[in-house]
Amino acid sequence: MTQQVNALVQAAGQAANAGRWEEAERLWSQVRTLAPDNPQALYSLGVHAFQRGDLSGAIEYLRAAHLASPMDPLILMTASVVQREQGDTESEWLTINDCLAVEPYYLPGLLTKAGYLERQGQTRPAANVYRDALKIAPPEAHWPESLRPQLQHARKCVEDYADAFTAYLETTLAGPRAALEIAATGRWAEAAAIMTGRVQPYRSESNQLAVPRLPAIPFFDRADFAWVKELEAATPAIREELRAVQQTSQSEFSPYIAYNRGEPVNQWGDLNHSDRWSTYPLWRGGERVVENLAQCRRTAAALDAVGMAQIGELCPNAMFSVLAPHTQIPPHHGETNARLVVHLPLIVPAGCTYRVGFEHRTWTEGEVLIFDDTIEHEARNDSDDPRTVLIFDVWNPLLSSAERDMVQAMTRAARDFNSEA
């Protein structure tokens, strides 16, 4: 009998796929005669009854299918659709929740639940469920075609919710925001964006040495660094030296991204070995580039006065960094949060922007930016001219002198161990 049932199941499926509904239903009825508790036959007969408009019959078949296969969420979700057509919203809601109790991460079930809430006028709870559905959905390019319209609608509902929530917070928090110190406003703007679901929290992610328990601060206050005023005052002299080496030593500017063949380039594919992001190194991997520093004596003196971070073969680094017109440096993370990165903008046309985590800044010539580059960051030059900054490393001021020694010891130990290997 098993072979006969299997043959009928296969034939019924083929008939349904070909659109021969009456033949498929007849074959499923034969399966049920031979195997009364066959869940596939019961489910399919329920679907056929639903297609004919026999809602009561469809529910009976689907209930029987659920008893035969209680862990199949598709049966319960289909039953909820029939109950919706019956106007039995109470049973529909219970069945949807039974479906998600069987499989909490069942994407069609989450979309069905959100749709139910939306029809009941509960748009905000619906948006939260739609957000959960989008979290577990595959990337958009791989959305199932049968669910694509629902997922597109889900995204629209989540965006509308975020817009409404953002507008509400803007109005409601105007008073408390006005009482904040200017330095704190960015923190609470980001907190609001996280609360509304527009962004996820940005965390420090170090490619090499991560110092735990350091706060992930995107931009540091330049007023907290004693060397800033003197460095900024040297901007005209440093810019003059930059222009001089651009005239006499242009060949010394080389692509900043230079992966070897066969190495994974990830987000750097467009910039690998490209002059669109080029640098003139002054310090590289903790070593002076003596010939280049000799061409930029005032810049070298300014860097010596700063006191850059000393971390094994990692720091200091210092360079003139040139970003070509209409070029973007993609989001990425730095090597260690033990150091901060400093930008001294030298030539900045309009249309150049910088982001670290949630915060967006524009470079102002002669005014440093000091930031933690282990927080996701990116740069854009949307102008028609190159943008050039002086970049170098300094210690994270939240580390004590003993901790700086520990950073050096750890990086030295890692280098020695891997050298032996």
Question: Percentage of the chain surpassing pLDDT 90?
Answer: 73
How do residues 317-339 score in pLDDT, each as one tens digit?
Answer: 999 999 999 999 999 999 999 99
For residue 390, pLDDT over 70 is answered with yes
* Residue spans per domain, the chain: 2-164, 219-420
For residue 1, pLDDT over 70 is answered with no
For residue 133, pLDDT over 90 is answered with yes
Q: Which helix (H) or strand (E) holds 417?
A: helix 401-420
For residue 167, pLDDT over 70 is answered with yes
- Alpha-carbon distance of 421 to 409, in angstroms, equals 18
Mean confidence (pLDDT) of the chain: 92
Chain centroid, CA 247 distance in Å: 41
* CATH architecture of the domain covering 2-164: Alpha Horseshoe (1.25)
Domain 219-420 coded CATH 2.60.120.330: yes
Q: What are the residues facing 255 on neighbouring strands?
A: 278
Q: Which two tokens stand for residue 349?
A: 């046309």
For residue 341, pLDDT over 90 is answered with yes
Q: Which helix (H) or strand (E) holds 165?
A: helix 148-172
Over its C-alpha atoms, the chain yields an Rg (Å, rounded) of 31
How high is the pLDDT of residue 146? Answer: 93
Q: Which two tokens stand for residue 334?
A: 């730095």
How high is the pLDDT of residue 420? Answer: 61
How do residues 364-374 score in pLDDT, each as one tens digit?
Answer: 999 999 999 99
How do residues 8-62 score in pLDDT, each as one tens digit?
Answer: 878 877 887 888 888 888 888 887 888 888 899 899 999 999 998 999 999 999 9
Judge contact between 396 and 224, C-beta under 8 A. no
How do residues 74-83 score in pLDDT, each as one tens digit?
Answer: 999 999 999 9
Q: Is 1 helix (H, G, I), strand (E, B) or coil?
A: coil
User: pTM for the full model?
Assistant: 0.78
- Alpha-carbon distance of 256 to 279, in angstroms, equals 6
How high is the pLDDT of residue 79? Answer: 96
How high is the pLDDT of residue 157? Answer: 96
For residue 421, pLDDT over 70 is answered with no
Q: Which helix (H) or strand (E) holds 79?
A: helix 73-86
- Alpha-carbon distance of 32 to 44, in angstroms, equals 10
How high is the pLDDT of residue 109? Answer: 95
Question: Percentage of the chain surpassing pLDDT 70?
Answer: 99
- Alpha-carbon distance of 255 to 306, in angstroms, equals 26
Alpha carbons within 13 A on the beta-carbon side of 165? 19
How high is the pLDDT of residue 143? Answer: 96
How do residues 278-318 score in pLDDT, each as one tens digit?
Answer: 999 999 999 999 999 999 999 999 999 999 999 988 999 99
How high is the pLDDT of residue 4? Answer: 82
How do residues 374-386 score in pLDDT, each as one tens digit?
Answer: 999 999 999 999 9
pLDDT band of 180, cuts 50, 70, 90: confident
How do residues 227-238 score in pLDDT, each as one tens digit?
Answer: 999 999 999 999
pLDDT band of 417, cuts 50, 70, 90: confident
For residue 343, pLDDT over 80 is answered with yes
Relative to beta strand 387-395, strand 359-361 is unpaired
For residue 184, pLDDT over 90 is answered with no
For residue 418, pLDDT over 90 is answered with no
